[in-house]
Copies of this chain bind each other. A is one copy, B any other.
Amino acid sequence: MLQMRRTNEQKSATRQRILDAAARLFRLHGIDAVGVDAIMHAAGLTHGGFYGHFSSKEALVAEVATASLARSAARWAKISREESSETARQLIVGSYLAPAHAAAMEQGCMLTTLGSDMARRPEAKSGIATSVRVMLEALERCLPAQGQRQVQASLSTMVGAVVLARLADDPMLAQSFLDAARSELLGEAASPPEAVGHKL
């Protein structure tokens, strides 16, 4: 019975591997373009075992969306509470608008990598909205003298800038969307020479 717990822990570790693989592949190729088979293979398993962990692909999608964005939101909340507002601003806004974030679609914020997709999946929306509210609170804590309304506009700018940067065919145009948003939100002229690495 005590050993059973170790087995359960192993199973939930496997489950987490599936979730991580799915989060990565969905962002990289789009949800519909990634099959259960590909996800399980990326997690080092065979496809049949999938239904021991999730009731359907759609259930996985909802959980990936919720969990993945919740992790970002928790990170923002932590930073905004523990760091000075200037440092927090740099870590949150700065890394969101860093070229590294726009480039690394496979680990980019779900609002930008799957935003338009998720709008069509009602089962994922409540989880997403909860995290969005947490992200707004975090931003409100670290953006100087901004009310709720301005903070919402700021998050919109961040999301839109990353989406537009990824749509640009020309790297200069992509960069200029990020720079424009950064200068609007942080008052900086351009991205720093060494951009802060983006974590989720």
Contacts and interface: CB of A to CB of B under 8 A. Distances in A.
- Interface SS of chain A: helix, strand, loop or mixed? helix
Contacts of A169: 125-126, 128-129
Interface in A141-200: 148-153, 155-161, 163-164, 166-170, 173, 176-177, 179-181, 183-184
A120 interface: yes
B29 A120 contact: yes
Contacts of A30: 32, 116-117, 120
A77 interface: no
A151 to B, nearest CB: 8
Copies of this chain: 2
Interface in A94-129: 105, 111-120, 125-126, 128-129
A160 B173 CA distance: 17
A1 interface: no
A132 interface: yes
A33 interface: yes
Contacts of A32: 30, 32-33
A116 B164 CA distance: 9
Nearest to A122: B169
A79 to B, nearest CB: 21
